[in-house]
């Protein structure tokens, strides 16, 4: 996550827009069951006539291909030969069956935020760009919405807010809703409603066989368990139904503080007290980060701390007052409508946090609380490396402290999401312009920072949130240490993806 203040040292905001589909004219299909190179001619001739009206194929060298394959992190990006933009949900199944027939690897993509290095294993593949499947319909009962698999967080927030509704969604505006949800999906409303995955009612998914099935508590219930926390392993979601609720508040309050490093220990102590071992009120959440801000200091990183509160400034005052009293060098606070909150705090569609085209090396770790001396050591290591290698000074260390009542109300064994006991999600995000010479510096440094953060909680196993995972973690770190969890996931993998067609995103090893 990034603060609004990061814009001080970002030359310009980068907005990735979607090009309008430009349909190709297709030749008559040829009956061929042999292997097929995914060249423009072959795919246009063979796959084109099978797709619905409104579908598009994009090939390298075109602006549409560039837009559709652009990614938040360019490090170990998948190698794509052709993009299929479906005109309907049925086209997703058609593309999967076509790729299976000719032995071509494939990958679904929405907003391009997956950053695990396992994605780099796809070579000369087909990207199924589900972004076009982005419809959102509030159902007649007013308690659920039917949502296309290509919808993203800000779209859902805007639609629900305009109808007086709310639901679980991610905090960063530009992230695909179901991409996050298949790995659990943390966010600002989780104190009320739990994770994104906890709010699913049913899911239409294209399996590795090319078959489309509906998965719910009553239909394919074994897969229902696995989709909610390890879902990237099992298929492509084309549509889902999600619980929605009457909005608890139209406006949110936020307060953002910038501290110099000499206030770090006192600030972290205040955060520990406020979070109360994961028992903070469901209306209250926070995050803080280490980052460079030359407008404040050119010699050391600053500490940027943000409080979100579902309520008024006056109601939040008892939580914010200690931070005002601590003496920030800068602060900013405001009441905003919920759809404006992401942009107001540096997490909007047009902010650097959503910009594509950088290498982003990310390592996560789940924590119970903050070890004050450990957070100092992490700060020192962050400063040491970014001073030594200025090309890394877009990097951040982030600590996300969401409210937890809704998450912990769901029985831990009821879904594949394994980390409900974690109170804090910490991560190092090494950010730099693509440069192979920096990879060998950034990766071991990021891993060292992650390990240092974990060392502040002796005796705990290292939990790695799958949506932030780098790709070299153990299966246990990502999917849980209880033997029955991995056994169950491996059984589902053997049943629903025996040939490993969906082995490109933190794959379950069977």
Q: Could you tell me the CATH number of the domain that includes residue 407?
A: 3.40.462.20
Q: Give the whole-angstrom CA distance, residue 217 versus residue 251.
A: 34
Same domain, 269 and 376: yes
Same domain, 119 and 189: no
Same domain, 271 and 345: yes
Range with the poorest average pLDDT among 10-14, 101-105, 124-128, 488-492: 10-14
pLDDT at 7 over 70: no
Once rounded to an integer, what is the mean pLDDT over residues 218-230?
A: 97
Q: Give the whole-angstrom CA distance, residue 38 versus residue 82.
A: 7
Q: How far is CA 204 from the centre of its chain?
A: 20
Q: How far is CA 26 from the centre of its chain?
A: 36
Query: Which two structure tokens, joined as six digits, stand for 460?
Result: 């705990």
Same domain, 114 and 22: yes
With beta carbons less than 8 A apart as the criterion, state whether 307 and 284 touch: yes
Q: Give the whole-angstrom CA distance, residue 468 versus residue 485.
A: 20
The CATH number of the domain holding residue 191 is 3.30.465.10
Q: At 458, is the secondary structure helix, strand, or coil?
A: coil
Query: Is 366 inside a domain boundary?
Result: yes
| Per-state percent for the chain, helix, strand, coil, to nearest 5 | 35, 20, 40
Identify the CA nearest to 114 among candidates 85, 74, 56. 74
Same domain, 319 and 289: yes
C-beta contacts of 33-39 below 8 A and 24+ residues apart: 33/101, 34/102, 35/102, 35/103, 36/102, 36/103, 36/104, 37/124, 38/81, 38/82, 38/102, 38/104, 38/124, 38/125, 38/126, 39/81
Same domain, 114 and 256: no
pLDDT at site 37: 81
Query: Is 506 inside a domain boundary?
Result: no
pLDDT at site 250: 83
Q: Give the whole-angstrom CA distance, residue 504 versus residue 502.
A: 6
Query: Is 2 inside a domain boundary?
Result: no
Same domain, 177 and 269: no
Query: Is 31 inside a domain boundary?
Result: yes
Interacting residues of 276 by C-beta distance below 8 A, sequence separation 6+: none
Same domain, 128 and 146: no
What sign results for the dihedral spanned by CA atoms 253, 257, 263, 268? positive
With beta carbons less than 8 A apart as the criterion, state whether 211 and 236 touch: no
Task: From 70, 103, 132, give the residue that closes a domain.
Answer: 132
Task: From 132, 161, 186, give the residue that closes a domain.
Answer: 132
The CATH number of the domain holding residue 118 is 3.30.43.10
pLDDT tens digits along 260-300: 999 999 999 999 999 999 999 999 999 999 999 999 999 99
User: By percentage, how much of the chain surpasses pLDDT 70?
Assistant: 93
With beta carbons less than 8 A apart as the criterion, state whether 380 and 484 touch: no
State the SS3 of 280-308: CCCCEEEEEEEECCCCCCCCCCEEEEEEE
Q: What is the DSSP letter of 330?
A: E
Residue, of 359 and 36, whose pLDDT is higher: 359
Range with the poorest average pLDDT among 10-14, 31-35, 240-244, 419-423: 10-14
Range with the poorest average pLDDT among 7-21, 281-295, 462-476: 7-21
Identify the CA nearest to 327 among candidates 246, 417, 257. 257
Query: Is 313 inside a domain boundary?
Result: yes
Query: Is 282 inside a domain boundary?
Result: yes
Query: Is 39 inside a domain boundary?
Result: yes
pLDDT at site 34: 54
Q: Where are the beta strands (DSSP E) in 154-311?
A: 165-166, 200-206, 212-216, 236-243, 245-246, 251-259, 284-291, 302-309
H or E element at residue 398: strand 396-401
With beta carbons less than 8 A apart as the criterion, state whether 431 and 441 touch: no
Greatest distance between any 2 Cα atoms in the chain: 74
Interacting residues of 473 by C-beta distance below 8 A, sequence separation 6+: 462, 464
- What's the angle, vertex CA 234, arms to CA 178 and CA 203, rounded to 5? 45
pLDDT tens digits along 192-205: 999 999 999 999 99
Q: How far is CA 12 from the centre of its chain?
A: 23
Task: From 104, 132, 160, give the residue that closes a domain.
Answer: 132
H or E element at residue 429: strand 424-432
Computed over every residue of the chain, the mean pLDDT equals 93
CA distances from 298 to 6, 376, 387 (A): 14, 19, 10
Same domain, 368 and 283: yes
Judging by beta carbons within 10 Å of its beta carbon (0-12, 13-18, 19+), is residue 218 exposed, middle or buried? Answer: exposed
pLDDT tens digits along 319-355: 999 999 999 999 999 999 999 999 999 999 999 999 9
Q: Give the whole-angstrom CA distance, residue 112 versus residue 379.
A: 30
Q: Give the whole-angstrom CA distance, residue 242 versus residue 141.
A: 12
Interacting residues of 48 by C-beta distance below 8 A, sequence separation 6+: 24, 26, 27, 29, 57
Same domain, 109 and 193: no
- Domain range holding 105? 9-132
Same domain, 143 and 214: yes
- What is the count of structural domains for the chain? 3
Identify the CA nearest to 21 among candidates 131, 108, 154. 131
Query: Is 507 inside a domain boundary?
Result: no
Same domain, 185 and 301: no
H or E element at residue 68: helix 63-69
Interacting residues of 138 by C-beta distance below 8 A, sequence separation 6+: 144, 145, 159, 160, 163, 165, 244
């Amino acid at each position: 996550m990034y603060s609004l203040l990061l814009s001080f040292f970002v030359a310009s905001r980068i907005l990735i827009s979607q090009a309008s589909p430009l349909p190709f004219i297709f030749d008559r299909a040829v009956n061929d069951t042999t292997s097929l190179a995914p060249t423009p001619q072959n795919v246009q001739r063979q796959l084109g006539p099978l797709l619905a009206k409104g579908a598009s194929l994009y090939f390298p060298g075109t602006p549409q291909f560039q837009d559709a394959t652009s990614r938040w992190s360019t490090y170990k990006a998948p190698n794509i030969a052709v993009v299929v933009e479906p005109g309907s949900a049925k086209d997703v199944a058609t593309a999967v069956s076509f790729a299976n027939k000719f032995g071509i690897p494939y990958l679904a993509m929405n907003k391009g935020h997956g950053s695990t290095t396992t994605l780099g294993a796809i070579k000369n593949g087909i990207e199924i760009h589900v972004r076009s499947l982005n419809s959102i319909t509030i159902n007649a009962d007013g308690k659920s919405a039917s949502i296309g698999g290509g919808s993203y967080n800000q779209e859902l927030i805007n639609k629900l807010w305009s109808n007086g509704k709310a639901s679980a969604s991610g905090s960063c505006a530009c992230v695909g809703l179901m991409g996050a949800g298949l790995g659990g999906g943390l966010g600002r409303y989780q104190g009320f409603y739990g994770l994104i995955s906890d709010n699913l009612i049913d899911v239409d998914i294209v399996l590795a066989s090319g078959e489309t099935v509906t998965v719910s508590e009553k239909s394919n219930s074994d897969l229902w368990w696995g989709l909610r926390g390890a879902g990237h392993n099992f298929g492509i979601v084309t549509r889902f139904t999600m619980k929605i609720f009457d909005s608890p508040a139209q406006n949110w309050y936020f307060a953002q503080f910038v501290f110099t490093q000499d206030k770090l220990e006192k600030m972290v102590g205040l955060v520990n007290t406020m979070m109360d071992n994961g028992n903070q009120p469901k209306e209250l959440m926070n995050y803080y980060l280490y980052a460079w801000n030359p407008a404040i200091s050119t010699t050391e990183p600053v500490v940027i701390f943000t409080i979100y509160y579902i309520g008024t400034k006056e109601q939040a005052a008892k939580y914010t007052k200690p931070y005002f009293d601590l003496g920030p060098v800068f602060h900013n606070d405001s009441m905003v409508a919920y759809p404006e909150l992401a942009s107001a705090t540096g997490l909007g569609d047009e902010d650097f946090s959503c910009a594509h085209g950088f290498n982003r090396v990310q390592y996560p770790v789940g924590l119970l609380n903050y070890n004050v001396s450990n957070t100092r050591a992490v700060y020192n290591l962050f400063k040491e490396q970014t001073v030594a290698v200025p090309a890394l000074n877009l990097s951040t260390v982030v600590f996300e402290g969401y409210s937890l009542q809704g998450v912990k109300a769901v029985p831990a064994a009821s879904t594949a999401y394994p980390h409900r006991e974690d109170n804090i999600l910490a991560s190092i995000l090494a950010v730099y312009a693509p440069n192979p010479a920096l990879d060998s510096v950034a990766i071991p440094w990021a891993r060292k920072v992650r390990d240092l953060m974990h060392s502040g909680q002796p005796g705990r196993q290292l939990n790695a949130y799958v949506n932030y995972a780098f790709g070299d973690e153990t299966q246990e770190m990502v999917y849980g240490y209880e033997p029955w969890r991995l056994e169950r996931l491996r059984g589902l993998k053997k049943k629903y993806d025996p040939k490993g067609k969906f082995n490109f995103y933190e794959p379950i090893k069977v």
